[in-house]
Amino acid sequence: MFESLVFLIRDVARGLYIISMGGILFMALRLRGARRELSMSQFTLEREHALVKQANAITFGGLMIEFLIAIWAIANVMAPTIDDIQAGDQAGGVPPMERFVTSTPAPNPPVALGVDGAIDTGPDLFASPVPTVTPVGTIMPDAPDIVGCANDAAWIHVPGNGQLLFEATTVLGTASVSDFAFYRFEIKQAVTGAEFAPIGGDKPVPVVNGPLGEILPFSLPTGEYRFRLVVFDNTQTLRASCEITIHISEPPPTATPIGG
């Protein structure tokens, strides 16, 4: 909640600067008028009234200057610091793409030798073939190019472009633009004439280098899909997007135990 408020202030900082400068200018004009009245006043009541106006102008002008400094500090010091902290957490907590590997079959069972040194091929020595498992994280070759994907506005780190999915997968990346309103996921089959459809609903909180949501592939037919992240501002205008290819497959078969 605190981070969201900081990022909101950073996104609307320009407007707050304008409001603050307008308030400071207004108070400066009131101070000038109060001093003019004070110099021209002839009676005690007039002088007191002018002194009150002068004090109010100085007080509120000082508050507006402090407000302006606070907005600058949040937008230029606090928000970048939070970005760096989140980026550091992400780098330490998310496995790099290079660690996604394909499992290899189980090793062959030990070979029994007979009394004459020949291989024993008796009925107790057999094994069922073990299929090679292709887990989440495997990148299929020759994936089409990504589209968009500015890493400071709309960016998908996981899944990777061309990644094979067969179970619930957390999407990691960034969805953050100025005047942010919401972001969502959209998906379509990679066939001619297919159109993107939203999945998972709109998400109203910006994310920088963190979890964006989940892909649940269970209700989708197997095949190749185009998956994208779209980010909108508070005028419902699409401001940024990131489009990649993913492959939905059936879960891998369970290996048959040796000798089972």
Task: Provide the mean pLDDT of the chain.
Answer: 79
Whether residues 137 and 240 share a domain: the answer is yes
Which of the four pLDDT bands, split at 50, 70 and 90, describes residue 167? confident
Whether residues 137 and 56 share a domain: the answer is no
Could you tell me if 166 and 250 are in contact, meaning their C-beta atoms sit under 8 angstroms apart?
yes
Q: What is the pLDDT of residue 184?
A: 95
Bridge partners of 232?
A: 182, 238
Q: What is the pLDDT of residue 182?
A: 95
Q: What is the pLDDT of residue 257?
A: 62
Whether residues 138 and 209 share a domain: the answer is yes
Q: What is the pLDDT of residue 92?
A: 53
Q: What is the pLDDT of residue 231?
A: 95
Residues 16-59: pLDDT tens digits? 889 988 889 998 998 898 888 888 888 888 888 888 988 998 99
Residue bearing the bigger pLDDT, 218 or 225: 225
Domain around 30: 2-93
Report how far residue 136's alpha carbon sits from residue 169's, in angstroms, rounded to the nearest whole number.
8
Query: Which of residues 46, 66, 93 is at a domain's end?
Result: 93
Q: What is the pLDDT of residue 213?
A: 92
pLDDT at 102 over 60: no
| Burial class of 65 by CB neighbour count within 10 A (0 to 12, 13 to 18, 19+) | middle
Whether residues 226 and 140 share a domain: the answer is yes
What's the total number of domains in the chain? Answer: 2
Whether residues 87 and 168 share a domain: the answer is no
Q: What is the pLDDT of residue 103?
A: 37
- Residue 200 has what DSSP assignment? E
pLDDT at 94 over 80: no
Whether residues 83 and 164 share a domain: the answer is no
Q: What is the pLDDT of residue 104?
A: 37
